[in-house]
Amino acid sequence: MKNSFLKTQTLAVLIFLLAIPLIIIVGLAFFSNDVTPDRTIFSLSGLAELLTPLRLNELLKIASRAFIICLCATVISFLISYLLMIYTSKIFQLLFLVLITLPFLANESVRIFSWQYVLSENGLFNVILSFLAGHSITVFDGSNSINVYVIMIITCIPFGIFINAASLGTIPNIYWKASNDLNLNSFNRFFKIALPLSKFALTASVLVIFFISFSLSSEVNFLGGDSKISTRNLILSLMSASKFQSIFSLGFVMILILLAFAMIYKLFDRFKTLEG
């Protein structure tokens, strides 16, 4: 009984420590001393700043880009995870997961800066495409946002693989044996077993990758051409304008979005359970 109490108490302390940044974000999103430095007052000026046409346009640009990237990266990562977990050995799976982890050991800015040379006008990709086509082709250059989307998707795919591969690895072998007994082809095995049993993983992948891609900024800074709209640059702009409450308001909005996604999924899951 005593050990159980200690475990509960320790868990409560850990949860509190982890929640401290969230508590600060929520508190400072509504209380500020920007206008009256001598005292802190309740204020919605931070949220109001985010709703101005300039800030709203930036946020919509960042969010729409993150939404496209999370969908593309989730689909690609799930397909890779399926092929990896179903058609390869355990040793190959481990080696593959290690290899896709290695790029993250390099400094983010250095890694993205190297992509700038690969995707430049005279970079490796354009050279290969021109060689295959037999004439000069310029698909990638530093003046459009294609580079940003490509590299962000490549950056986010490993996160989706980690989630989806772990989920597919938990599917009981009896399902795969039953599919063999029924002589199901690869198409039916994918859509009747892998996909239905990975709904939670796919949802988690979309959420995780959305928030990751929402915060990615180095790709935009190095590869975005004239457009440098990113979360980091938005925050730096707010800091330079001494709009500190708006920064915490942005964090509060992100927390609300995450909670909304969680509630929607919970309600949908409960509805499907009652329907079944």
Does the pLDDT value for residue 207 go beyond 80? yes
In residues, how long is the chain?
A: 276
pLDDT in tens, 13-49: 787 788 788 788 888 788 776 556 666 677 788 888 8
Residue 127 lies in a domain: yes
Q: What's the mean pLDDT in 90-101? A: 92
Quick one: average pLDDT of 176-203? Answer: 84
Mean pLDDT, to the nearest integer, of 224-253? 84
pLDDT in tens, 48-81: 888 899 899 999 999 999 999 999 999 999 999 9
Which 8-state DSSP code applies to residue 107? -
Average pLDDT, the chain: 83
Residue range(s) defining the domain that contains residue 80: 57-242
Beta-carbon contacts of residue 26 (< 8 Å; ≥ 6 apart): 252, 255
Q: Has residue 144 got a pLDDT over 80?
A: no
**Closest to 221 in 3D by CA, of 165, 157, 142, 159:** 142
**Same-domain status, 264 and 189:** no
pTM: 0.81
Is residue 2 included in any domain, yes or no? Answer: yes
Q: For residues 208-237, b (16+ Cβ closer than 10 Å) or e, as one string? A: bbbebbbebbbbbebbbeeeebbbebbbee
Residues 125, 188 within the same domain: yes
* 103/222 same-domain check: yes
Helix residue ranges, H only, 88-118: 90-101, 108-118
Cα 225 to Cα 264: distance, rounded to the nearest angstrom: 37
Does position 275 have pLDDT exceeding 70, yes or no?
no
pLDDT at residue 37 in the model = 61
Residues 131 and 189 in one domain: yes
Picking from 95, 103, 61, 97, the residue whose alpha carbon sits closest to that of residue 77 is: 97
Flag whether pLDDT at 203 surpasses 60. Answer: yes
Nearest CA to 43 among 246, 232, 217?
A: 246
Q: What digits encode the pLDDT tens for the residues 74-87?
A: 999 999 999 998 88
Q: Indicate whether 205 and 118 sit together in one domain.
A: yes
The highest-confidence range among 15-24, 57-66, 141-150, 250-259, by mean pLDDT, is: 57-66
Query: Do 117 and 28 share a structural domain?
Result: no
Q: Could you tell me if 123 and 228 lie in one domain?
A: yes
Higher pLDDT, 91 or 140: 91
Q: Do residues 110 and 230 share a domain? A: yes
Establish if 51 belongs to a structural domain.
no
Looking at the structure, do residues 37 and 130 belong to the same domain, yes or no? no
The pLDDT of residue 164: 94
Whether residues 271 and 142 fall in one domain: no
Query: Is the Cβ–Cβ distance between 87 and 171 less than 8 Å?
Result: no
- The CATH number given to whatever domain includes residue 180 is 1.10.3720.10
The reported pLDDT for the residue numbered 6 is: 53
**Domains in the chain: how many in total?**
2
Count of Cβ atoms closer than 10 Å to residue 249 Cβ = 27
Q: 143: which DSSP letter?
A: T
Residue 50 lies in a domain: no
User: Do 252 and 224 belong together in one domain?
Assistant: no
Q: Supply the pLDDT for residue 142.
A: 65
Instruction: Verify that 111 and 176 share a domain, yes or no.
Output: yes
In the prediction, which pLDDT does 134 show? Answer: 84
Q: What is the pLDDT of residue 173?
A: 84
Structure tokens at 188: 């039916």
